[in-house]
């Protein structure tokens, strides 16, 4: 099993997939949106904490900026009806501190706004993770305390296209947010962008 990779990013589609060159070998990893902005860096190399997911027909690698994020992913996929893609969608839409608050407060409405999470699954997340996420969130820097990430606009567009919106629509919705992008919490901006897209 691969647990950690350090290398140079040679491809990044901004929508949850990247290729990491490690000593001449390119590893393709699925990642939550915004992972590269949160990773530990050593020059032009990044360090990713990796979960190796083995299926009968595939071996998939999932990369995370921190061990706490990887452990949260593993907790999520341990919940019935939550597969790796849904777990990535959760971590893309909700930074770990916000996810922990939503689960702690049993905020089912907030959880069901994540693509792929229905009411029953949201209730199950609350039931199974209520006692488990707070310690992980406490060990993680608060994602909302560092506004101004240089690629927030790209992250927003990537999140919206992952939800099924066309790239042009996503660009217009993000453009409508103006100077708020990079100066307000990502989750709030994503909600506002979605409001622009909802008739």
Residue 78 and residue 37 share a domain: no
Residue 75 and residue 31 share a domain: no
DSSP label at 176? T
CB-CB contact of 19 with 28 (8 Å): yes
Residue 163 and residue 99 share a domain: no
pLDDT above 50 for 144: no
pLDDT tens-digit readout, 40-98: 777 778 999 999 998 888 889 999 999 999 999 999 999 998 999 999 999 988 888 88
Domain count, the chain: 3
Residue 57 makes CB contacts below 8 A (sequence gap 6+) with none
pLDDT of the residue at 151: 58
Q: CATH number, domain at 83?
A: 1.10.150.20
Domain coverage including residue 180: 147-197
30 half-sphere exposure, CB direction, 13 A CA radius: 17
Residue 46 and residue 14 share a domain: yes
pLDDT of the residue at 87: 95
Handedness of CA 50, 170, 12, 138 (dihedral sign): negative
pLDDT above 80 for 136: no
Residue 162 and residue 123 share a domain: no
Residue 125 and residue 80 share a domain: yes
When pLDDT is cut at 50, 70 and 90, the band that residue 171 belongs to is confident
Q: In 10 A of CB 56, how many CB atoms?
A: 4
Residue 72 and residue 114 share a domain: yes
CB-CB contact of 31 with 89 (8 Å): no
pTM above 0.85, yes or no: no
Q: CATH number, domain at 34?
A: 2.40.50.140
pLDDT above 70 for 199: no
pLDDT tens-digit readout, 110-127: 999 888 899 999 999 999
pLDDT of the residue at 153: 77
CB environment 113-132: b (16+ within 10 A), e (fewer) = bbebbeeebbebbbebbeee
């Amino acid at each position: 099993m691969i647990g950690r990779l350090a290398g140079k990013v040679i491809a990044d589609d901004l929508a949850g997939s990247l290729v990491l060159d490690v000593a001449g070998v390119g590893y393709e990893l699925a990642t939550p949106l915004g992972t590269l902005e949160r990773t530990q860096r050593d020059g032009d190399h990044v360090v990713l904490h990796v979960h190796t997911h083995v299926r009968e027909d595939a071996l998939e690698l999932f990369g995370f900026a921190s061990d706490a994020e990887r452990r949260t992913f593993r907790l999520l996929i341990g919940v019935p009806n939550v597969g790796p893609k849904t777990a990535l969608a959760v971590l893309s839409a909700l930074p770990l501190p916000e996810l922990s608050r939503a689960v702690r407060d049993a905020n089912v409405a907030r959880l069901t706004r994540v693509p792929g999470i229905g009411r029953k699954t949201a209730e199950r997340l609350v039931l199974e993770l209520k006692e488990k996420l707070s310690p992980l969130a406490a060990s993680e820097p608060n994602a909302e305390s560092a506004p101004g990430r240089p690629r927030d606009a790209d992250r927003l567009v990537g999140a919206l296209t992952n939800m099924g919106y066309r790239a042009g629509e996503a660009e217009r919705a993000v453009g409508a947010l103006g100077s708020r992008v990079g100066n307000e919490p990502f989750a709030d901006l994503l909600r506002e962008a979605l409001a622009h897209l909802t008739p």
